[in-house]
Chains A and B, each alone.
Chain A
Amino acid sequence: MNETSQLPDLSQIPDAISERGRFSQLVWIIPVITMIIVASLAVKSCLDRGPVITITFKSGEGIEAGQTKIKYKNVQIGEVKAVTIAKDRSQVLVTAEIFKDAGWLLMEDTRFWVVRARISRNSISGLGTLMEGSYIGADAGISRQSQYEFKGMEGPPVIAIDEPGRQFVLHALAIGSLDITSPIFYRGIQVGEVISYELDKDGRGVSLKVFIRDPYDQHVKANTLFWHASGIDFTIDANGVKVNTESMVSILLGGISFLSPESLGNSQPARPNSTFTLFANKDEAMKRLNAVVETYNLVFMESVRGLLTGAPVDLRGVTVGEVTRISLDLDPRNNQISTPVEVQLYPERLWAFYRGKPQRGKPMDSRQLLNTLVKHGLRANLRNGNLLTGQRYVALDLFPKAMPSKIDWSKNPPEFPTITSSMEQFQTTLMKIVQKIEKLPLEELTDDARQTIRTLETTLQKIEKLPMEELAGDVRQTIRTLDITLQKIEKLIKNVDTAIIPEVHSTLEDARKTLDDVRKILGDAKKTLSHDAPLQQDLHETLRELSRAAQSLRVLGDYLERHPESLIRGKEDDR
């Protein structure tokens, strides 16, 4: 190698090629990845975070941010994040976060309420919250429309949304003792509850929402009657004393009963939310059952004492109407006093029992029906319903022997024929007796008598023909046998006389001797015990000696007491 060659041929030096751009590209990857991670985290957190909802309550009692839980069916589905006051100060806004997996519960009819310990007339609930603190309960809605702002309820809902059953609306004049959760009874079983009540807008009544549980809700028909079953219904009338009550619970808390009258046939189950009337009591309800009411006038020519308005009109025990008015009619022209009694008949009930079912769909004209019945003797009369209270009722019955009469349709209300009760009954009875006497087969009887006499005659003739002499012989023989028997008996008695009597005699003798001995012994005993017996004498004597000795002792004691010195000195002379 030479020196010149020491200088590098610059031209020959290859240009350095910068690879700067490549490196810088690699560096930028790091922030990009970081950003991606951050973004994904943000998205994830965003996605993981459940929906935030706002619930408005009237008061924030028991709700604390970060502590109060939201529970559905006692499972936590979220937590309260903040409690604030609304801008208009009327409400409390509770902001809560719901877990993501529970987000589907938030529908537009989802309900929220604060669960705390509550004591009401018929229930105690939420006692557990005394220990754990209150929480917000939720009842998931069934709507498909989701929602994130809710109005909180003041109390727990009576019926969970998913509980099977139907709601109905009842209209009543007054709410009485009913309240939310008041029971609804069907044939004494509690089948539902009152959910809510509110005053009608016009203020003339009350609307109650009731819930009837499945499967009882199918018994609510279009013609179902609802009535207050509150308390005890106590009535005294011509039907006697009645005490009606549904159950002890209903006595204390009130309740509603319902029944679908069968007499009006089966009708379709009622639709949910259909409206019914709530009657004050069962009787009132049952009266409304009769859609068709016809008024008649019964003119009685006798005292109607004991008959009251409201008394039943009774057809062989079935109530088909009731008395609505009792008045007095003084007729100076005929010098008569009559008592028109206005009654309401429920012809529907008559149809229900009428066998010749009318043309389908359209019931038979009641006018025609009653005309037919009256023609056959249907009359109204007064009867004693209750002997104790003297109440009477109007009875409709068939009197086939009654004087022919008609319903006077020209009058308003139409006049229904009546019959005087006791006298008429007496007359008919008398008539019947006379008829029976008439019907007696007197001729046959005489024939029978004649035949009997004839038979007697033939019998006597037969007796005449009997072989009397033979019979007499038989009798004679019998008597002879009897004689022999008697003789034998006599012999027997003689035998007894001779053989048995002496023995008895000797036995008696022995007995007498024994008795004598006994008597002697007794005599001896008597002597021993008698007062003049030596023993007695001796005893007496001894007793006397004893008494004297006792007396001497007494005297001695007496003296010694007075003169103790006499033991040594002897007695002193009397001074």
Chain B
Amino acid sequence: MKTRYWLITLTLICGLVVVLAGCSRSPRASFYVLEPTAKAGDHLPAQNAPTVRVAAITLPEMVDRPQLVVRGEGSRVNILEMHRWAEPLKRGIPRLLAENLSRLLGSNQVSTYSRSAVSEADYRIFVDVLRFEAAADSVTVDILWTIRRTAQGSQKTGRSQVNEPGGSGGYEALVSAYSRALAAASNDIARAIQAEWAVQR
């Protein structure tokens, strides 16, 4: 009887060990966010600034996920499970662009609200992100953007291809390289809007 009791106790302990092993702690994930880095321009007085909406954005499916994606050797791609975006890129990129544009145009009327109801905006921007890739030490951002004048329906299209070195700061450096690249693209867009705005006025 005694031996049998012991056996039961032993198996219970073993099971517990296995279960507890399953409950081992996952490694801590790092979260990253894109930072607006554009400098505020002072070309336009605030009251004259155009209202802008970043209306729609498309992303390559490859990077449209919470994890950071880094290209490896050849055509290999690493999806970094423990390095994640704090917010989905589909939201983050428009927000960043809006922030940058707001600073560059000196306008506080730049939003990311994509609904067409907010058609009071002077310009609507459609962004088609063709590439949003990070290599080991640099990032490449390729954006095709379209600025549509709401009133006349006229539109202007441009493309920004930015290659930003990441330096040696690890993934944090890569993310800030992304931020800088997007800031450069924002700069292109802002210039285009300013040119358009000047003509319209």
| CB proximity to B under 8 Å, residues A527-575 | 530-532, 536, 540, 548, 551-552, 555, 558-559, 568-574
Residues of B contacting A530 in the complex (Cβ-Cβ under 8 angstroms): 117
Is the CB–CB distance between B88 and A574 below 8 Å? Answer: no
Main secondary structure of the interface of B (DSSP, over half): loop
* A572 contact set on B, CB distance < 8 A: 27, 81
Interface residues of B in 111-136 (CB under 8 A from A): 115-118
Contacts of B27 in A (CB 8 A): 571-573
Judge whether A555 and B22 touch: CB under 8 Å.
no
Measured between beta carbons, the chain A residues less than 8 angstroms from B46 are none
Q: In the complex, A530 Cα to B27 Cα: how many Å?
A: 47
- CB neighbours (8 Å) of B159 from chain A are none
The distance from the CB of B127 to the nearest CB of chain A, in whole angstroms, is 18
A531-B117, A540-B115, A551-B88 known; A570 vs B66 contact (CB < 8 Å): no
User: Total interface residues on A, using CB and 8 Å?
Assistant: 18
Shortest A549–chain B CB gap in Å is: 12
Cβ contact within 8 Å between B22 and A569: yes
Partner of A569, one of B24, B65, B88: B24
B18, closest chain A residue (CB): A568
How many contacting A-B pairs (Cβ < 8 A)?
41
Q: Which residues of A contact B44 (CB under 8 A)?
A: none
How many angstroms from the CA of A573 to the CA of B27 in the assembled complex?
6
Q: Is the CB of A570 within 8 A of B26?
A: yes
Sorted nearest first, the 4 A-B pairs with minimum C-beta distance are A531-B117, A570-B26, A573-B27, A571-B26
Q: How far is the CA of A210 from the CA of B88 in the complex (A)?
A: 119
Cβ contact of A555, chosen from B21, B66, B116, B118, cutoff 8 A:
B66
CA A555 to CA B82, docked complex, whole Å: 13
**B25 is contacted by which of A531, A552, A570 (Cβ under 8 Å)?**
A570
Which residues 143-196 in B have Cβ within 8 Å of A in the complex?
none
CB distance from B159 to the nearest CB of A (A): 28
Inter-subunit contact B116/A531 (CB<8 Å): yes
Contact (Cβ within 8 A) B118 A531: yes
Q: Could you list some 23 contacts between A and B, CB below 8 A? A: A530-B117, A531-B117, A532-B117, A536-B117, A555-B65, A555-B67, A559-B81, A569-B22, A569-B24, A570-B22, A570-B25, A570-B26, A571-B29, A571-B81, A571-B82, A572-B81, A573-B27, A573-B82, A574-B78, A574-B80, A574-B81, A574-B82, A574-B83
Pick from A532, A559, A568: contact of B22, CB under 8 Å: A568
Q: Which of B58-86 contact A (CB under 8 A)?
A: 65-67, 78, 80-83
Residues from chain A with Cβ under 8 Å of B80 in the complex = 574
| Closest Cβ–Cβ distance, residue B143 to chain A (whole Å) | 22
Complex: A552 Cα to B66 Cα, angstroms: 8
Within 8 A of A (CB), among B13-43: 21-27, 29
A569 to B24, CA, bound (A): 6
Q: Is the interface of A mostly helix, strand, loop or mixed?
A: helix
Min C-beta distance of A551 to chain B, whole Å: 7
Chain A residues positioned under 8 Å from B117 (CB to CB): 530-532, 536
Q: Mark A252-293, 1 if CB is under 8 A from B, else 0.
A: 000000000000000000000000000000000000000000
Of the four ranges (under 10, 10 to 19, 20 to 34, 35 or more), the interface on chain B belongs to 20 to 34
A568 to B83, CA, bound (A): 21
Which partner residue on chain A sits nearest B65 by CB separation?
A555
CB distance from A545 to the nearest CB of B (A): 12
Whole-angstrom distance between the Cβ of A387 and the nearest chain B Cβ: 71
Q: How far is the CB of A573 from chain B (nearest CB, A)?
A: 4
Report A484 CB to chain B, min CB distance, Å: 68
CA distance A555 to B88 in the complex (A): 12
Q: Which chain A positions have C-beta within 8 A of B23? A: 570
Nearest CB of chain A from residue B27's CB, rounded to whole Å:
4
Task: Give B173 Cβ to nearest chain A Cβ, in Å.
Answer: 16
| Smallest CB gap from A530: residue in B | B117
Contacting residues, chain B, for A571 (C-beta < 8 A): 26-27, 29, 81-82
The answer to whether B24 and A570 have CB atoms under 8 Å apart is yes
CA of A555 to CA of B61 in the docked complex: distance in angstroms? 12
Closest to A573 in B: B27
Q: A530-B117, A558-B65 are in contact. List 4 more A-B contacts (CB 8 A).
A: A569-B22, A571-B27, A571-B81, A574-B78
Contacts of A574 in B (CB 8 A): 78, 80-83
Give the distance in Å from the alpha carbon of A530 to the alpha carbon of B25 in the complex: 49
Residues of A with C-beta under 8 A to B88? 548, 551
Give Cα A571–Cα B79 distance, bound, in whole angstroms.
13
Contacts of B26 in A (CB 8 A): 570-571
Chain B residues, Cβ within 8 Å of A555: 65-67
Docked complex Cα distance between A574 and B122 (Å): 46
Which B residues are CB-close (under 8 A) to A573?
27, 82
| Nearest chain A CB to B96 CB, angstrom units | 18
- Nearest CB of B to A560, in Å: 12
Contact B115 A531 (CB under 8 A): yes
Complex Cα distance, B133 from A22, in Å, reads: 177
The proximity string for B residues 83-102 relative to A, scoring 1 for CB distances below 8 Å and 0 otherwise, is: 10000100000000000000
- Chain A nearest Cβ from B102, distance in angstroms: 21
Give the chain A neighbours of B116 by CB distance below 8 A. 531
Interface centre among B26, B29, B118, by most A CB within 10 Å?
B26
Q: Which of A536, A548, A555 has the most CB of B within 10 A?
A: A555
Instruction: Looking at the assembled complex, report how far the CB atom of B116 sits from the nearest CB atom of chain A, in whole angstroms.
Output: 7
**Within the complex, what minimum Cβ distance (angstroms) separates A300 from chain B?**
88
Nearest chain B residue, comparing its CB with the CB of A568:
B22
Docked Cα-Cα span, A541 to B192, in Å, equals 32
Instruction: Please give, as numbers and ranges, the residues of chain B lying within 8 Å of A532 by CB-CB distance.
Output: 117-118
Bound-complex Cα distance A540 to B23 (A): 38
CB distance from A562 to the nearest CB of B (A): 8
Q: How far is the CB of B140 from chain A (nearest CB, A)?
A: 22
- Alpha-carbon distance between A548 and B91 when the two chains are bound, in angstroms: 11
- Interchain nearest-CB distance for B134 vs A (Å): 14
**Nearest-CB residue, chain B, relative to A554:** B65
Task: Kindly report which residue of chain A lies nearest to residue B78, judged by CB atoms.
Answer: A574
